[in-house]
Amino acid sequence: MKSLLEKLTGIYGPSGKEETISQAIREEIKDYVDEISEDVMGNLIAVKKSSVPNPKKVMLAAHMDQIGLIVTNIDENGFLRFSNIGGINPFNVMHRRVVFENGTTGVVAYETELEDMKGLKLNKMFIDIGVANRDEAKKLVGIGDVAVYHAPMAVSGDRYFGCAMDDRAGCAVLVETIKAVKDSPNELIFVFTTQEEVGLRGAKTSAYALEPDIGISVDVTINGDTPKCRPMAINLGDGPAVKIKDSSVISHPKVKNLMIKRAEEAKLPYQLEVLEFGGTDSGAIHLTRGGVPPGVISIPCRYVHSAHEMVDKNDLDNAVKLLTYILENEIE
């Protein structure tokens, strides 16, 4: 898991530019699935077929894209103004190193005449790529180019931290689950989705086309175990979480209860998650066509949407074990 996660979090892939991460995942899973394809939205779709007649179709989704900064203007001195792709907090991005697809790096700074940091907004910030003027900048970066955090993964004990854990951690869990599942009474459709950070878009179109009987997404969730944080019953290292609700979805009772039942049968640690905001691919999947029963396995993650998101090795390993056990048994 460690080497896979390090590989996936180190690949450039903001919303709308997921080609490179998609190719890396394809190489990881191609020998473990029966079919693999890519749709119009760029979703990577991998199928493990069942030998059982008329099996239930289970869609499993994790999004490939990461948040980013899109260049909107280049001033005469070569500083890049930008807007957000996905949820960018000005304080999280301040003085962070970022990298563009072509390898150009820069640092995010802000207008120093700002008297009160409460007024810090993205339109008061810029990216400095170390050039002297607009002409030099335009040789490296153009309008519409997107930068992402440049923060290679680091390890401290069982904790992994770096950029894009949201949701490369979920992608890693699905990759390892694909490799772990040996036989299933269900048809398993693993979808590595695009453009989740800008509106759950890839999940919406893929679920519409696939018409699954049940939809499960794997994504990160925030924690409640750091000093004076917002109270929440999620702790890093206490196991993957079974989502009850967030702002995009209320998990279907039969899916939620099935996850809990399987976790207890397998004697795996788990937590229950009530997220007061945010959403996952299941928010789009469950509204497809006539509706799809949704569920979510969440990976506890500190400092979501920062350059140094932190997850726990044991939560990732147990998420793979839980998902594998769920899928190798009949979906009730």
Residues carrying an active site annotation: 196
Omega prior to 65 cis, within 30 of 0: no
CA dist., res. 153 & res. 150, Å (int): 10
Say how many C-beta atoms besides its own lie within 10 A of residue 215's C-beta: 30
CA dist., res. 214 & res. 121, Å (int): 41
Q: Per the structure block, which two tokens stand in for 96?
A: 């962070």
Q: Return the H-helix or E-strand segment holding 92.
A: helix 90-93
What is the amino acid identity at position 241? Answer: A
Alpha helix locations (H) across 185-312? Answer: 201-210, 253-265, 282-285
**Angle at Cα 290 formed by Cα 319 and Cα 49, nearest 5°?**
45
